[in-house]
């Protein structure tokens, strides 16, 4: 299944104003932000949405200190969306939402969604870095950092789940959704990436 990666994360937070300020200071672009919450986007359209933790439109909390309420993964196209839905329907409820995305719950209780990805392509130059053993990318005496640059995150690249049963959580994403383990923090858990 061609799951591209997280398109959006939804949080229920204690202080919408402070979180809004943090996400804006971090460089995400506020979209439709009010005193009750809003969305904050990276350059490719991936986003973080926040709402007050008591907002009834949010999925229920997990009963932990974590504030993440939902992760929506972007997929390549409608055929992948249908395949993910069919896989999950084998043993759990999958809801189709008004925007044609789907929503379910993983084996740890996290609400997960899937949609045709909103990511837009970026054509931005990478940072020029001189590294030992590599051909120079930046001439001598050329400063690598532009202190006047406006910092804008390019993308929402990953999400971290803290779970009580690492093996069970890993098995769900690997066996059911086709993620693969690319590295492992000993005593903590795996780093899973999409297969795509």
Per-residue pLDDT tens digits for 87-146: 999 999 999 999 999 999 999 999 999 999 999 999 988 777 888 998 988 888 888 777
For residue range 31-59, what is the model confidence (pLDDT) as tens digits? 999 999 999 999 999 999 999 999 999 99
Q: How far apart are the first and last CA of the chain?
A: 7
Give the Cα separation of 155 and 143 in Å (integer): 25
User: What pLDDT score was predicted for residue 86?
Assistant: 97
Question: CA 56: distance to chain centroid?
Answer: 22
> Tokens 């971090």 correspond to what residue?
26
Give the Cα separation of 129 and 127 in Å (integer): 6
Closest CA to 7 of 35, 34, 57, 44: 44
Residues in the chain: 196
For residue range 1-40, what is the model confidence (pLDDT) as tens digits? 799 999 999 999 999 999 999 999 999 999 999 999 999 9
Give the Cα separation of 161 and 70 in Å (integer): 11
For residue range 132-190, what is the model confidence (pLDDT) as tens digits? 998 988 888 888 777 888 889 999 989 998 888 999 999 999 999 999 999 998 888 88
Can you list the domains of the chain with their CATH numbers? 3-119 (3.10.180.10)
What are the residues whose beta carbons fall under 8 Å from the beta carbon of 88, sequence distance 6 or more?
94, 102, 104, 176
Q: Which two tokens stand for residue 78?
A: 């409608």
Specify the pairing of strand 111-116 against strand 68-75: parallel
Radius of gyration of the chain (CA): 19
User: Please, which residues bridge with residue 177 across strands?
Assistant: none
Backbone angles phi, psi at 84, to 5 degrees: -65, -45
């Amino acid at each position: 299944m061609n799951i591209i990666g997280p398109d959006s994360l939804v949080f229920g937070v204690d202080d919408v104003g402070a979180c809004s300020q943090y996400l804006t200071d971090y460089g995400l672009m506020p979209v439709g932000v009010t005193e009750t919450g809003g969305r904050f986007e990276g350059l490719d359209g991936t986003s973080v949405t926040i709402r007050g933790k008591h907002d009834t439109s949010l999925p229920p909390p997990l009963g932990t200190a974590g504030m993440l309420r939902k992760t929506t993964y972007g997929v390549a196209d409608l055929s992948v969306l249908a395949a993910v839905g069919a896989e999950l329907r084998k043993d759990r409820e999958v809801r189709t939402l008004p925007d044609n995305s789907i929503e379910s719950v993983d084996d740890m209780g996290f609400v997960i969604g899937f949609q045709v990805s909103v990511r837009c392509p970026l054509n931005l130059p990478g940072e020029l870095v001189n590294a030992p053993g590599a051909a120079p990318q930046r001439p001598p005496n050329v400063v690598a950092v532009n202190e006047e640059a406006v910092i804008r995150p390019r993308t929402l690249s990953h999400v971290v789940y803290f779970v009580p049963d690492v093996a069970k959580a890993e098995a769900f994403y690997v066996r059911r959704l086709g993620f693969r383990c690319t590295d492992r923090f000993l005593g903590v858990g795996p780093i899973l990436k999409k297969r795509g």
